[in-house]
Amino acid sequence: MNRQKVAVGPGASSLILIAVVLTLCVLTVLTMVSARSDEAMARRSLESRQEVYSLFAAGEVSLSRLDAVLAACRQEKPDSMETYLAAVEEKLPEGMKISDDLVSWTEKKGNRSLECTVRILEPESEKRTQWTSHRLASGVEWEDDGFDDFDDFEDEEGGESVGPEEETGEAPEENTEAGEENVP
């Protein structure tokens, strides 16, 4: 039994050291790229939240202006809801629209807008308004470039889109293997 001794020389250990150092360098670069990406995403999230909260604050300021008008109109002691609404309509703050007992306005900042609607309550009630809609909208338009496959669902006159059920009068077949509907 002759056993040979395997000796690792300085060349092999140098290669292992170089491989370890290169691996650590790659991991460092990946960590830095990930950290920068996270920082950019956090910054965008912060800007978005500040924009949204400033819109909500502006909506509340507009509501307080409307509330001051409503309080002034209540001081006149209206005899009916119609006369109360007519007095409110005369003194309505700029940018607000009234339709029946609903007052609506839009707050804008950047590419976002907040559409607000409140209901004016009876002059005898304790509260003067009630929120009915507080809708945040983005002004960014979505482009459907590259989705030419969906043109099949438009009718020949270029009118309304027609789905597969409306086209054939039948529901689409189900793919039993994948558990999903087949998309034509």
169 within domain boundaries: no
- Dihedral Cα 157, 161, 166, 170, nearest 10 deg: 120
Give 172's pLDDT tier (boundaries 50, 70, 90): very low
Count of domains for the chain: 1
133 within domain boundaries: yes
pLDDT for 125 equals: 85
Judge whether residue 154 has pLDDT over 70.
no
pLDDT for 140 equals: 65
Cα–Cα distance, 164 to 155 (Å, whole number): 12
Give 141's pLDDT tier (boundaries 50, 70, 90): low
39 within domain boundaries: no
Judge whether residue 151 has pLDDT over 80.
no
44 within domain boundaries: no
Residue ranges making up the domain that contains 63:
54-138
- Quick check: pTM over 0.85? no
For 71-104, how does the pLDDT look when each residue is reduced to its tens digit (9 = 90+)?
Answer: 888 888 878 888 888 888 888 888 899 988 899 9
Judge whether residue 184 has pLDDT over 50.
no
Other C-beta atoms lying within 10 Å of the C-beta of residue 117:
16
90 within domain boundaries: yes
pLDDT for 76 equals: 84
92 within domain boundaries: yes
What would the DSSP string read from start to end of 91-148?
A: HPPTT-EEETTEEEEEEEETTEEEEEEEEEPPTTSS-SEEEEEEEEEE-PPPP-TT-G
182 within domain boundaries: no
DSSP 157: T
For 8-63, how does the pLDDT look when each residue is reduced to its tens digit (9 = 90+)?
Answer: 777 888 999 999 999 999 999 999 999 999 999 999 999 989 998 999 999 999 99
Cα–Cα distance, 49 to 67 (Å, whole number): 27
119 within domain boundaries: yes
